[in-house]
A and B are shown apart, each in its own frame.
Chain A
Amino acid sequence: MLVGLVLPVVLTVLIAAAFSREESFAMRLGITATGDTLSARVVVPGYAEDPVELIPFNDRAAASAAVESGHVDAAVVVGGPAPAVIVNGYRPVPARVARAIAYLSAEDAARAGSHVQLVSAGGKIRPLDYFAISMTILFLTFLIWGAVRSFQEEKEGRMLARLAATPSRPHEILAGKYGAMFALGLVQVGVLIAVSGLVFGVNWGQPLLVAVLALATVGAALGVASILVTVPVRPERRALIGMVSMFLLAVLGGQFFPPEGLPDVFDRIARFTPNGQALFGFTNLAALGKASTFGTIAEPLAVMSAVACVGILLGVVSARRAFEIGDGAAK
């Protein structure tokens, strides 16, 4: 209970507090306008002192290409039927600035009498939101690791072999075990979402998509832990090795620093980690809010489900062997 809920909440508060100063980044914004050029009255609240360099592009395609190549941090398309924000990946601050510009220009247009609609809220996410999400994932992985590790000890301690002598059937026992671990993870995630929402006003995004992503994230945590626990080491070393691996994954997954300002390669590495994918998924949901769709979390869902399937399958197979006393577990 302490490790599962209290500690994560406390640490999330501390870490979030350390980062809660709104940070600002020097950035270049691409601007493209189809009708009148952008009004010079653009003011970006909160970023007044920051050098926001506006670079005009001829059309949307050119702006988009510049964002892709990293030449600019974000682009705003104004003057068309609706203003749009173009960002590449999770770039909260540029996205926010771009959104502000888009919004202001939309107001301008509205005042001028033309019909303008905001299609996307763009990226609005604070460092606090980011760390609330990141810490939730981090603590989930540790909680699940602990559960999977004690499950492994049950296999090796021949608890499963003894369970096999009860009237319960092996598949019932396994379903019970994995079901309990799943429920444990979901409860923790649920509580952290609720607490961070109530205390810090973190908006996680559309509840249904968040729930789906949470399921996949718990599954992936189970999968990763089930794979890690098969590393053949003495039980005393296992705890240490698991912790180190999980921290490493967290670092690679970008859970300790937002990808802002880091070379893109980190971003790409993070995509290969299930926890990094979880982070992408949740931050995108938070940033996009109502504008998010199932497509927003498609990639994280696919990657994490795959990891979950592989890991849990591995765990089930090794558990099946532990049901037989003599054949699996040596003395």
Chain B
Amino acid sequence: MGAVLEARGLVKAFGARRAVDEVDIAVEAGEVVGLLGPNGAGKTTTISMIAGVLRPDSGTVHVDGLDIRSGPAARARLGLVTQWLTLYHDISGRENLEFWGRMHDVPRKRLRAAVDRALADVGLHDRADDRVDTYSGGMQRRLNIAVALMHDPALLVLDEPCVGVDPQSRNAIFELVEARRDGGVAVLYTTHYMEEAERLCDRVGIIDAGRVIEEGAPAELIARLAGGTSLRIRVTDPAEHEKAVKVLAGIKGLRGVTTGDGAVCVRSKGSDPHIAAVVAELLDAGITPSSIDLDTPSLEDVFLELTGKALRD
């Protein structure tokens, strides 16, 4: 089965600067693909071209094999959650969804059910009839997500949907995305939150300055690029540091043993930190570790490794 979303060679320049530079993205049914990048990386610009609301300078976007700019049929397959709120504040949440449902050509007969389902999906059914300007920021965000769910799109595109949402609601949103994914929806998800990408995405593209510089499954990227897990080991007697370093250097699968801060640090090559081996060797040598801290690398480290800069300024 071909990809639901197939974007090839997308380029968009604003003036002399290329905001998006030769970006390819494919998302299959039942897959969540993340686009991870800092502010100004070109995520929204990419998504706008994918949604057909921004004309690319070059490149193509196909949804279910249809060119997104070919007309209503292609756009009907796509649900877009914009980074900005697209809500009318002086009417109720339900009325907003009814409006967006009509704009998405949801048949009159199914409209009520679609609204109820979307409201339940984002956990707003009990506030559905209140005016949107009485909602909290996080509730408005959730309603903004519901806008894209009204017509059961085959492709769900979310542009930083969790900005300003509390952890509890964020979890609800993750679950919602996962449920849709399990139902066979293709999901494209942009964020600059590592945790979101790691938790949610089957594959991640890392975008910086308009280019996708790496892509792969989060665990694979971390293993390949972030240099494994690191352990910080404290021993009872600081005098034994030298000895500990020598012992640890002999263990296969570890690299870069260093001391400092009253601790010995080792990094593993893969994702296995070799804790058992480390403890066993130390005890064998008569050294008693008093504490071991495990430092798991994240996409944050991947990003740091790739660009030499932190993801959030």
Q: Are A165 and B53 in contact (CB under 8 A)?
A: yes
Name the CB-closest residue of B to A166.
Answer: B103
Q: Does A46 contact B (CB under 8 A)?
A: no
Q: Does B60 contact A (CB under 8 A)?
A: no
Interchain CA distance A161-B82 in the complex, whole Å: 10
Interchain CA distance A317-B78 in the complex, whole Å: 26
Contact with A along B71-106 (1 / 0, CB 8 A): 011011010101011100000000000001001110
Q: Which of B75, B78, B103 has the most CB of A within 10 A?
A: B103
Q: Are A162 and B14 in contact (CB under 8 A)?
A: no
**Chain B residues within an 8 Å CB radius of A327:** 54-55
Interchain CA distance A158-B44 in the complex, whole Å: 13
Contact with B along A289-331 (1 / 0, CB 8 A): 0000000000000000000000000000000000111110000
**Chain B residues within an 8 Å CB radius of A324:** 53-55
Interchain CA distance A323-B55 in the complex, whole Å: 11
Name the CB-closest residue of A to B51.
Answer: A165
Q: Does B52 contact A (CB under 8 A)?
A: yes
Task: Answer whether A326 and B14 are a contact pair too, CB < 8 Å, given A166-B104, A167-B104, A168-B105.
Answer: yes
Q: Does A174 contact B (CB under 8 A)?
A: no
Q: Are A167 and B72 in contact (CB under 8 A)?
A: yes
State how many angstroms separate the Cβ of A311 from the closest Cβ of chain B: 24
Q: Are B48 and A167 in contact (CB under 8 A)?
A: no
Q: Are B86 and A166 in contact (CB under 8 A)?
A: no
CB < 8 Å: which of A166, A167, A326 contacts B73? A167
Q: Does A5 contact B (CB under 8 A)?
A: no
Name the CB-closest residue of B to A157.
Answer: B84
Q: Are B86 and A158 in contact (CB under 8 A)?
A: yes
State how many angstroms separate the Cβ of B76 from the closest Cβ of chain A: 4
**Chain B residues within an 8 Å CB radius of A323:** 53
Interface size band for B: 20 to 34
CB < 8 Å: which of B54, B72, B86 contacts A168? B72
Q: Does A210 contact B (CB under 8 A)?
A: no
Q: Are B84 and A165 in contact (CB under 8 A)?
A: no
Q: Are A158 and B84 in contact (CB under 8 A)?
A: yes
Q: Does B180 contact A (CB under 8 A)?
A: no
Q: Count A-side interface residues using an 8 Å CB cutoff.
A: 18
Name the CB-closest residue of A to B105.
Answer: A167
Q: Does A163 contact B (CB under 8 A)?
A: yes
**Chain B residues within an 8 Å CB radius of A163:** 103
Q: Does A227 contact B (CB under 8 A)?
A: no
**Chain B residues within an 8 Å CB radius of A166:** 75, 100, 103-105
Q: Does A71 contact B (CB under 8 A)?
A: no
Name the CB-closest residue of B to A158.
Answer: B84
Q: Does A159 contact B (CB under 8 A)?
A: yes
Q: Does B298 contact A (CB under 8 A)?
A: no
Contact with A along B100-130 (1 / 0, CB 8 A): 1001110000000000000000000000000
Interchain CA distance A194-B236 in the complex, whole Å: 94
Interchain CA distance A167-B12 in the complex, whole Å: 23
Interchain CA distance A166-B81 in the complex, whole Å: 12
> DSSP majority for the A interface?
loop
Interchain CA distance A161-B85 in the complex, whole Å: 12
CB < 8 Å: which of A159, A169, A173, A326 contacts B86? A159
Contact with A along B12-25 (1 / 0, CB 8 A): 10100001000000
Q: Does B268 contact A (CB under 8 A)?
A: no
State how many angstroms separate the Cβ of B186 from the closest Cβ of chain A: 16
**Chain A residues within an 8 Å CB radius of B72:** 167-169
Task: Answer whether A165 and B73 are a contact pair too, CB < 8 Å, given A325-B48, A326-B48.
Answer: no
Q: Does B230 contact A (CB under 8 A)?
A: no
Q: Does B191 contact A (CB under 8 A)?
A: no
Q: Does A52 contact B (CB under 8 A)?
A: no
**Chain B residues within an 8 Å CB radius of A38:** none
Interchain CA distance A324-B14 in the complex, whole Å: 13
Name the CB-closest residue of A to B19.
Answer: A326
CB < 8 Å: which of B12, B78, B103 contacts A326? B12
Contact with A along B142-155 (1 / 0, CB 8 A): 00000100000000
Interface residues in B24-82 by Cβ distance below 8 A to A read 45, 48, 51-55, 72-73, 75-76, 78, 80, 82
Q: List 29 A-B contacts (CB under 8 A).
A: A157-B86, A158-B82, A161-B48, A161-B53, A161-B82, A162-B80, A162-B82, A162-B147, A163-B103, A164-B53, A165-B51, A165-B53, A165-B78, A165-B80, A166-B100, A166-B103, A166-B104, A166-B105, A167-B73, A167-B76, A167-B104, A168-B105, A324-B53, A324-B55, A325-B53, A325-B54, A326-B45, A326-B54, A327-B54
Which of B's residues lie within 8 Å of A, judged by CB? 12, 14, 19, 45, 48, 51-55, 72-73, 75-76, 78, 80, 82, 84-86, 100, 103-105, 147
Additional pairs, 18, CB under 8 Å, beyond known A157-B86, A162-B147: A157-B85, A158-B82, A159-B86, A161-B82, A162-B82, A164-B53, A165-B75, A166-B103, A166-B104, A167-B73, A167-B104, A168-B105, A169-B72, A173-B103, A325-B48, A325-B54, A326-B48, A327-B54
Give the 6 A-B residue pairs with the shortest CB-CB distance, closest first. Answer: A167-B72, A162-B86, A167-B76, A165-B51, A166-B103, A325-B48
